[in-house]
C-alpha cells in the first residue's frame, strides 16, 4: 500500500471514529434537566391526587396549585390540566377522596366498641380524629365555594357521608331516617349532632379550645372534653324566677 493510500485509509478511519463517538456525546443530558416520573397508563391520575394531598397537608390550600401538584408528582405542568381541567376540578376530586377516607373511618369506628355508650361515642371521636390527622383534607371538604358538586365523584361521596350521619342519628333515636325525606325533628337532630361535632372540631383545629382545656383538671384531653359534651343533657336547669 502506498503512502497516499495509507493517508486515505487513515482519513477514512478518522471519519469513522468521529461518527462512532457522536452518539455518546449526544446522549449526555444537562444536569439541570429533571426527568419525569414514569407512570403506567391510568395511574397518573391517582398519582396526581396523592401529590395534591401531600401539597395540601404540607403547604395549605394557598400553596395548592396545578403547577405545585405537577412538581410534586414529577410530571409536566400540563398533566393536572389534562386530568382535572382546572384547579376547581382538582380540588373537587381531592375533596371526593377526603370524603371517601372520612366515610371509611366513620364506618369502621365502632368495630372495637363493646358497649352501647362506646358505640354512641365512636363515630364523633372518629370524626374529630380524622380531622386532626388530615386537617388540610378536612378543610377542603367543607369549602363549598371552591368545589364543583356537579362532579359525580364528589356528589356521591358527600351524599354517602350525609347518609352515614343520618343513619347514626337514626340509631340513637331508634328510628329509621330517610335522608331524602326528613321530618323537622329528624332534621333538627341531625343538624344538632353535626353542629356540635363540627363546631368542636373547628375550634380544636384553630387552637381555640386551649383556654378552656387550661382551666379544666390537669390531664383533661380534647377527647375527654368531647365525651363530656356529648353526654351532657341538651337542656340545662331552667333559670329560677
List the grid coordinates of 38: 414514569
Residue 142 has pLDDT above 60, yes or no: yes
> Cα angle at 173 between 170 and 175, to 5 degrees?
55
Residues 202, 132 contacting (CB under 8 angstroms): no
Residue 35 has pLDDT above 50, yes or no: no
pLDDT tens digits along 195-224: 999 999 999 999 999 999 999 999 999 999
State percent of the chain over pLDDT 70.
79
Q: Which among 185, 173, 177 is positioned nearest to 120, based on CA atoms?
A: 173
As a whole number of angstroms, the distance between CA 224 and CA 209 comes to: 13
pLDDT tens digits along 145-192: 999 999 999 999 999 999 999 999 998 888 999 878 899 999 999 999
List the grid coordinates of 64: 395548592
Which phi and psi angles does 154 have, rounded to 5°?
-70, -45
CB-count exposure of residue 1 (10 Å: 0-12, 13-18, 19+): exposed
As a whole number of angstroms, the distance between CA 70 and CA 36 comes to: 10
Candidate from 1-15, 100-114, 155-169 with smallest mean pLDDT:
1-15
Residue 1 has pLDDT above 60, yes or no: no
Amino acid at each position: 500500500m502506498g503512502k497516499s493510500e495509507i493517508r486515505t485509509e487513515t482519513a477514512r478511519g478518522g471519519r469513522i471514529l468521529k461518527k462512532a463517538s457522536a452518539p455518546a456525546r449526544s446522549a449526555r443530558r444537562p444536569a439541570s434537566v429533571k426527568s419525569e416520573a414514569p407512570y403506567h397508563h391510568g395511574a397518573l391520575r391517582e398519582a396526581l391526587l396523592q401529590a395534591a394531598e401531600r401539597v395540601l397537608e404540607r403547604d395549605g390550600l394557598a400553596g395548592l396549585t396545578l403547577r405545585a401538584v405537577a412538581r410534586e408528582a414529577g410530571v409536566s405542568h400540563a398533566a393536572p390540566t389534562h386530568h382535572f381541567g382546572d384547579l376547581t376540578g382538582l380540588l373537587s376530586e381531592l375533596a371526593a377522596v377526603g370524603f371517601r377516607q372520612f366515610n371509611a373511618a366513620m364506618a369502621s369506628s365502632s368495630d372495637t366498641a363493646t358497649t352501647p355508650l362506646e358505640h354512641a361515642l365512636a363515630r364523633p371521636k372518629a370524626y374529630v380524629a380524622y380531622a386532626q390527622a388530615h386537617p388540610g383534607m378536612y378543610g377542603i371538604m367543607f369549602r363549598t365555594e371552591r368545589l364543583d358538586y356537579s362532579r359525580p365523584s364528589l356528589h356521591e361521596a358527600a351524599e354517602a357521608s350525609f347518609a352515614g350521619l343520618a343513619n347514626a342519628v337514626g340509631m340513637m333515636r331508634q328510628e329509621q331516617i330517610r335522608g331524602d325525606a326528613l321530618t323537622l325533628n329528624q332534621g333538627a337532630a341531625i343538624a344538632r349532632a353535626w353542629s356540635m361535632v363540627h363546631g368542636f372540631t373547628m375550634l380544636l383545629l384553630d387552637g381555640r379550645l386551649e383556654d378552656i382545656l387550661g382551666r379544666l383538671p390537669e390531664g383533661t384531653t380534647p377527647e375527654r372534653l368531647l365525651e363530656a359534651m356529648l353526654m351532657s343533657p341538651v337542656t340545662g336547669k331552667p333559670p329560677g324566677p
